Amino acid sequence: MESGMTDIKKIFHSFGINDLLNASTSGLVLFKKDRSQEKDVVRYICTVDNESARRLTGQKSLTGLSWQQMVGEGAEVGDPLLCPDIELHFKSLNVWCRASNVAVDDSHFMCTLTDITPRKKTEERESNVLSILTDAEDSMRFGSWMWDLESDTNEWSSGLYSLLGYSPEQVTEIRASYDLYLSHVHTDDAEILRHAVEDSIRNQRSFNAEYRIKTISGQEKYVMSRGQFRVGEGAKPAMSIGSVFDLTSIRNIQNELEKKVDELNRSNFDLEQFAYVASHDLQEPLRKIVSFGERLEKRSQGALDEEMGLYLDRILNATRRMQDMINNLLEFSRVARSKEGFVATDLNTIISGTLSDLEIAIQNKDAVIAIDALPTRVEVIPTQMSQLFNNLLSNSLKFTQEERKPEITIKSDRLSKSDQLNYGLPAQGDYVRITFSDNGIGFENNDSSRIFTLFQRLRGRSEFEGAGIGLAVCKKVVENHSGIIMASGKSGQGAIFTIILPLTQS
């Protein structure tokens, strides 16, 4: 025993008290009561400090400083011995310390400073994250929960309380629980949520559920819960965690859109029926006008003067144009109303039939047509696909240049997945791209948005015949096939029509 005490004395004598103080990683500051002050005022002055204390406080020396000077002006810490364990912030270094004050005797106390900056920064980050989460919950109308399945305790975020209609004052008076939440679920939808949650816990997997809730004021809301099961590990219990999203505004918008779509579909159907019936009803009187006009023209040969003959000729020409427009309207109406009859079809057969139908026009124009092999199996409505090819080829044969031999090229290729995404198409499924290009009169690209509009003509009737319906029919056919049609061109150099069709109709 005597030998041990001797060793300790040797250590103390060899190092000295300052060496021992400075060896501590904690800040050590000894304060002495200042007896020179008034009796009613308690003041403590630093008499001893170590290197760690100076490093933590940012002071070159603490000796001679009062307690208040060390902690900083404005820090309300009061009597240090009445606050034995406090947190101090030294602003010059942005360092946080826990100050533990222990009385040594009636006149002295020792302050131990422990660096807690990492913990305070973590708390600050957590506070910022919590603030961001709270703001997000308020703006996006959702709330979150954590359910300890072993202790059956629940924690709800402020957003979840708000979603259920609880005020901040009411939150302190209630205990969050699964049963309390279920009491807010609409009675007709309670089984939906209960089944989803129980299945999630039983099979240890995530769940999604849409249902209705009622707030404490009786307001009904559409919500969606997304939850997941977290397996317990070690000291961590099994948990169910997730969020509840308010879908009320989205559901209301969806309901309004569905109503508008229904109204628009009814309106479109009525318009199509009207166009079809009106066109049929107009056919007969127009046929009579043309028939009697032609009879009059034959019987009056030589009887009418030049001016009267011109009038009759204009009447017949206008009536025939009206017949053509009505026939085109009937064709458009039939295409718009018919969206059934998809069959797997060889497009090479369709294009061969189209070339046969247009054989005379191709010969008259002395046109050269080059065609790549087209897909042999595409789900289409054959009659409509024939209309599409016929109208596009007829368009290229019509808008030619007199001094240039017409050349028409038809190509096809399969779209890559990246191309599908670029066109705004879903990645799933396969698509084919077919292009019709010619060297005709072309058009300016700023007219490409108008070219598929019903009755829209880029050229005058005196230059080229037509009612301006053919390309509108093409657009309707492609839309019926869930595809895309685009046009590009350059005046005097030709036009390119690009068609994208799904290989199968889902």
**Residue 324 pLDDT > 80:** no
- Residue 463: predicted pLDDT: 47
- Residue 190: predicted pLDDT: 93
Written as one letter, the residue type at 426 is P
Q: Give the N- to C-terminal CA distance of the chain in Å, as an integer.
A: 94
Average pLDDT over residues 43-51: 90
- Residue 464: predicted pLDDT: 45
Could you say which of 3.40.630.30, 1.10.1660.10, 3.30.450.20, 3.40.50.2300 is the CATH number of the domain covering 2-115? Answer: 3.30.450.20
- pLDDT by residue (tens digit) across 181-210? 999 999 999 999 999 999 999 999 999 999
What are the structure tokens assigned to 115, written together?
A: 């660096």
**Residue 3 pLDDT > 70:** no
**Residue 447 pLDDT > 80:** no
What gap in Å lies between CA 432 and CA 201, rounded to an integer? 46
- Residue 312: predicted pLDDT: 82
pLDDT band at 106; cut points 50, 70, 90? confident
What gap in Å lies between CA 116 and CA 300, rounded to an integer? 114
What gap in Å lies between CA 400 and CA 15, rounded to an integer? 107
**Residue 474 pLDDT > 90:** no
pLDDT band at 1; cut points 50, 70, 90? very low
Question: What superfamily in CATH does domain 340-502 come from?
Answer: Histidine kinase-like ATPase, C-terminal domain (3.30.565.10)
What are the structure tokens assigned to 289, written together?
A: 């006008």
pLDDT band at 5; cut points 50, 70, 90? very low
Query: Is-same-fold flag (133-246; 340-502)?
Result: no
Tell which wins on pLDDT, 390 or 304: 390
- Residue 223 CA: distances (Å) to CA of 132, 190, 197, 461: 22, 12, 15, 59
- pLDDT by residue (tens digit) across 209-262? 999 999 999 999 999 999 999 888 777 888 999 999 998 988 888 889 999 988
Average pLDDT over residues 284-306: 79
pLDDT band at 337; cut points 50, 70, 90? low
Rg, C-alpha atoms of the chain: 44
- pLDDT by residue (tens digit) across 122-175? 888 888 877 777 777 777 788 899 999 989 999 998 889 999 999 988 888 889
- Residue 56: predicted pLDDT: 93
- Residue 185: predicted pLDDT: 94
- Residue 457: predicted pLDDT: 53
What gap in Å lies between CA 264 and CA 285, rounded to an integer? 32
CATH number of 133-246: 3.30.450.20
Tell me how many degrees the CA angle 158-164-168 measures, rounded to the nearest 5.
45
Domain boundaries, the chain: 2-115, 133-246, 258-337, 340-502
| DSSP per residue, 284-350 | HHHHHHHHHHHHHHHHTTTTS-HHHHHHHHHHHHHHHHHHHHHHHHHHHHHHHH-----EEE-HHHH
Tell which wins on pLDDT, 19 or 229: 229
What pTM was computed for the model?
A: 0.47
Average pLDDT over residues 84-106: 90
pLDDT band at 279; cut points 50, 70, 90? low
- Parallel, antiparallel, or unpaired for β 431-438 and 378-380? unpaired
How many other C-beta atoms lie within 10 A of the C-beta of residue 338?
14
**Residue 79 pLDDT > 60:** yes
Contacts of 125 (CB under 8 A, 6+ apart): none
473 CB burial (10 A radius; 0-12, 13-18, 19+): buried
- Residue 174 CA: distances (Å) to CA of 160, 170, 317: 13, 7, 86
- Residue 203: predicted pLDDT: 92
**Residue 6 pLDDT > 60:** no
pLDDT band at 409; cut points 50, 70, 90? very high
- pLDDT by residue (tens digit) across 370-394? 998 999 999 998 888 888 898 899 8
For the chain, the average pLDDT equals: 83
Across 24-33, 40-49, 428-437, least confident range: 40-49
What gap in Å lies between CA 499 and CA 506, rounded to an integer? 19
Average pLDDT over residues 397-408: 86
Average pLDDT over residues 74-81: 71
What gap in Å lies between CA 311 and CA 40, rounded to an integer? 124
Domain 258-337 is found in CATH 3.40.190.10: no
